[in-house]
Homo-oligomer: A and B are copies of this chain.
Amino acid sequence: MLNIKDNLLNFNLKNEIENKKSQINLFIEDCLKRKEDKNDWLGWLNLHEDEQSFQEIKEYSKEIVESKKFDNLVILGIGGSALGPKAIIQALKHPLWNELSSEKRQGFLKIYFIDNVDPDWTNSILNHLDIKRTLFCTITKSGGTAETTSVFLWARDMLIKELGDNWKKNLVLITDPKKGTLRAFADRENVKSFKIESSVGGRFSVFSAVGMLPAALCGIDIDKFKKALAISYKDIFEKKNLDNLGLKLAIALFHADKNLGKKTNILMPYSSHLEKIADWYVQLVAESLGKNRQTGPLPVKAVGATDQHSQLQLFAEGPLDKIVFFIKINNFKNDFNIPKQEVIGFENLAGETLKRLIHAEGEGTARALAKKEVPSLTIEMPEISEENLAELLYGFEIMTALSGFLYNVDPFNQPGVELSKKYTYALLGKKGFEEYLKELV
């Protein structure tokens, strides 16, 4: 299990949790009441129980990999449809995965993400790949996300040109099981597809097919996620253990913001492998809690030790409105012993190891911030593994859901992004958006 060590300064996390005990219990009851409702948004709490989906994903992935017909997996998706799989792959795979030989990848697929509508960027990626040996995984829950479907139509065009009638074999879709354009397309064209239940929001979808299918196609054992999720679920919703990662993070985030004015929440893993976890976290917190003009801690991504040379100055001596969540990896798989006094001038590092250095930097930074009155806590992870990653991401999801409950906002909607979409369609001259165009002229 992941531990928290804290330098919270003006508040005692244990006491605050005790103070919020009844609200936490109400939250737990609320979740349990709502989680089976298909028209609600708590479906992400059931994902680890969906044996069938995990099984289907494993079987399909095995078939794809064993067919030896594919080298590349391209994820077409944006927001929650890209951030989750990106985070998992970066955490668990080689940093230069796509440059490894098929042998070193053990036949698993290279992975590319197209999560924008930049025509140059998209063109460069699509034209680099051997389309015949590329599996396109299109992910859009609603089935109609403009960015994803437009690039999907581009990719489909290329597939038809290269493969003729066989174009569907290089396509797999992840979308709502019943509704939407992409679901209708999958049914009509008989294209392989997986589901995201309508009760699972995009930013809470990482343990559905959205995150699990790309992971399995890259050779990650997804059952390990499932088992770890079951343990975390049980800890909160059956044991009602208040000494739980997600619950503690929620209280720290909420109390620091609401009562101590710490409106900026920095997530700073001391690990290059966890950088994209922070991107995923930024979406989760920003889109869930940035509501009603009143609430919305500003989530900020930083990476240790790297950002000691970029953002740390601001954290240490800028406005006192920040709280930092560090992540420490206790055990790395590799290390380097800096030779003793071999190189003149570099004696101050002689005899150290890289692991000791990154640990001392993390601890030194937390302590220096405390000295400068900036509170922080450190999530201690024994090592980067599927299980620990599942506990971490699930902890952040629980943190976000409980924070929404405490702030009294709906963490599962995103009404603020709709107007931008309407104006976009109006500017493109689409039918049905004439009233918005009037506002713009």
Contacts and interface: CB of A to CB of B under 8 A. Distances in A.
Interface of A: 78-80, 82-83, 94-96, 98-100, 112, 115-125, 128, 144-147, 149-151, 153-154, 156-157, 181-182, 184-185, 188, 202, 263-264, 270-273, 279, 282-283, 286-287, 289-296, 298, 300-301, 303-306, 308-320, 332-336, 338-339, 342-346, 348-349, 352-358, 360-361, 363-365, 367-369, 371-372, 384, 414-417, 419-428, 430, 439-440
Contacts of A332: 118-120
A425 B149 contact: no
A116 B309 CA distance: 10
A103 to B, nearest CB: 13
A417 B367 contact: no
Contact of A336 (B119, B312, B345): B119
A310 B334 contact: no
13 contacts: A79-B310, A96-B124, A96-B128, A120-B273, A145-B309, A150-B352, A283-B310, A290-B311, A298-B300, A300-B300, A317-B415, A364-B426, A369-B420
Across the A-B interface, the 8 shortest Cβ-Cβ residue pairs: A79-B309, A290-B314, A296-B318, A290-B318, A364-B423, A316-B416, A364-B424, A317-B416
Chain multiplicity (copies): 2
B272 A118 contact: yes
A354 B157 CA distance: 14
Contacts of A369: 420
A305 B122 CA distance: 13
Contacts of A184: 344-345
A118 B352 CA distance: 14
Contacts of A305: 78, 116-117, 147
A435 B343 CA distance: 27
Contact of A358 (B118, B286, B338): B118
A424 B308 CA distance: 12
Contacts of A333: 120, 123
B306 A79 contact: yes
Contacts of A319: 263, 293-296
A116 B79 CA distance: 27
A440 B336 CA distance: 26
Given A283-B309, A360-B428, 10 more contacts: A116-B303, A121-B272, A122-B334, A149-B346, A296-B314, A308-B417, A316-B416, A357-B424, A361-B424, A367-B440
A354 B152 CA distance: 12
A145 B369 CA distance: 20
Of A82, A271, A308, which is in contact with the most chain B CB atoms at under 10 Å from its CB? A308
B293 A310 contact: no
Contacts of A286: 310-311, 313-314, 318
A426 to B, nearest CB: 7
Contact of A309 (B78, B118, B334, B384): B78
B423 A334 contact: no
A291 B312 CA distance: 11
Contact of A349 (B83, B153, B306, B311): B153
Given A273-B118, A298-B298, A336 B282 contact: no
A344 B360 CA distance: 58
B272 A290 contact: no
Contact of A153 (B312, B315, B338, B361): B338
Contacts of A100: 128
Contact of A306 (B78, B182, B361, B430): B78
